[in-house]
Structure 1
Amino acid sequence: MKKVLIATAATLFATASFAAVADMDTDGDGVVSFTEMLAAYPTLTEDGFAAVDTNSDGVVDDSEITAAEEGGLIPTSDG
């Protein structure tokens, strides 16, 4: 039962993050640039974006969004 609950929770987190990326990804490339993320988070700074972009590739993917939400760097996509 615990394994099912953990798997369900992981799926819900991944889905919520994916939805956030999909909502912000205006050019449809599957990742979010600083400019795209700025539209959703108008007070975001370049340093803040760099903190979310943990692999420093210049864009944010769903796993980085999840980590940023869980780490309190950005509000959760569900409120």
Structure 2
Amino acid sequence: MSLREEILKEGKQEGRLLQNQEDIHYFLEENIREEAEDLYKKVTSIQDTERLGQLKRKLYRTSSKAEIRKMVIEGSQ
């Protein structure tokens, strides 16, 4: 793989990471407003795109504030 291809691949991964973080931030703001910023700080500590995508998919399947908190905290460890 050429250097240019590696840079493009890395850029796409970074973009997916940031998009997933933004999606989760929006979800937290809509569903658990009072704790959104504290939980979002934990989300931004996740630097694995796949793990972050899994967390996002799980969050979208729940509406329980306690479950949302638990998932974010466990996902960031």
Instruction: Name the structure where helix makes up a greater proportion of residues.
Output: 2
TM-score, L = length of structure 1:
0.44
TM-score, L = length of structure 2:
0.45
Larger Rg: 2
